[in-house]
Chain A
Amino acid sequence: MITGTPKPIEEIMEMLEPYDNIVLAGCHGCVTVCRVGGEKEVQVLASTLRLAREAAGRTINIREVSLERQCDPEYVEQMRPYVTDYQAVLSIACGAGIQFLAEKFTTTPLLPGINTGFLGVTERQGEWSERCQGCGDCVLHLTGGICPVTRCAKSLFHGPCGGSVQGICEVDKETKCGWQLIIDRLVALNQMENYGKLKPYKGWNSSRDGGPRRIIREDMI
């Protein structure tokens, strides 16, 4: 899922300073699962903002909505009938959702209520960690299902660097060396021959290096 963290309330209050009548839009997708931008978070943030504003002597009207997904046009369009009745939209979806709303509603300012994080997994309630950087050229079949691009701090492709000590990355003591994990896993799977199958170099043209990416599936159009 796409993860995120709430922006500090002070930062949101500052963004909302020019506005008294807004939409607060959540999303039922990833941000609901990581408990940063779903229906419940909309309710809590709306109450928090109303209380904070009123305590400061100025009220704010907030329309609370939660779309199925802010990254799909059919759901975004559900806001069109009323969005121009409001001065701004505060979205607590991921950066993709917020930008999609901004593209669709060109005359209404869009404000981000969260900081979008990474593509990750839930370790336990309240803890998420990164697993994928969307490089566009997956090699997980050769690396025991552990991504060298994401799990190695340097995104190395041919084994650990000198900063790997007893399975721990030099970046910080909480981070396991991605390559140690890969080797251990390949050994356990009896697949060490895969280590030698890795490409001599990785082409990054399918990653972010080529600018904003698009996927066009002719079979689906």
Chain B
Amino acid sequence: MLPCTGRIDESLLLKAFENGADGVMVIGCLEGDCHYISGNIRARARVERVYAILERIKIGPNRIRMYNLSAGEGSKFAAFANEFVNQIREVGPSPINLVRGATKTEAVTAKETT
């Protein structure tokens, strides 16, 4: 959890995928409402760059998405979170997790057979 999207950079987003995330949802303040003027606009550009990277290396697409909300929009937050979770369920586990899962299974199988 990172409390301000203005602090986000591409490497943090990619790290989440390295750490096993199937998807990353970035929620910033409403555009025009950023305390740091353009932090959320910059975050959107960074999210777009990571989206392109993930697509290029065949991890994505559709595994990262930016939403904008105000702090008072609780029900909208819940709706966006549900929408994103459904989106990630549809695209399935990240190829990284599939590879890691297969490696784990192989290791378990090897242990069982010895």
Contacts and interface: CB of A to CB of B under 8 A. Distances in A.
B14 A47 contact: yes
Interface size class of A (residues with CB under 8 A): 10 to 19
A40 B95 CA distance: 25
B8 interface: no
A7 to B, nearest CB: 12
Contacts of B9: 40, 44
Interface stretch (A50-58, A141-149, A167-175, A176-184): A50-58
A52 B57 contact: yes
A109 to B, nearest CB: 23
Closest 5 CB pairs of A and B: A47-B14, A43-B11, A52-B57, A55-B95, A44-B10
Interface string B66-83: 000000000000000000
A9 interface: yes
Interface in A45-65: 47-48, 50-52, 54-55, 57
B17 A40 contact: no
Interface in B95-114: 95-96, 99-100
Contacts, number: 43
B56 interface: yes
A40 B11 CA distance: 7
A47 B11 CA distance: 7
Nearest to A53: B57
5 contacts: A9-B57, A47-B17, A51-B17, A51-B54, A52-B59
A48 B99 contact: no
Interface string A178-203: 00000000000000000000000000
B58 interface: yes
Nearest to B12: A43
B18 interface: yes
Contacts of B57: 9, 48, 51-52, 55
Nearest to B11: A43
A10 B56 CA distance: 9
A55 B15 contact: no
B24 interface: no
Given A9-B56, A40-B11, A55-B58, A47 B18 contact: yes
Nearest to A43: B11
B53 interface: yes
A51 B11 contact: no
Contacts of A40: 9-11
Contacts of A54: 96, 99-100
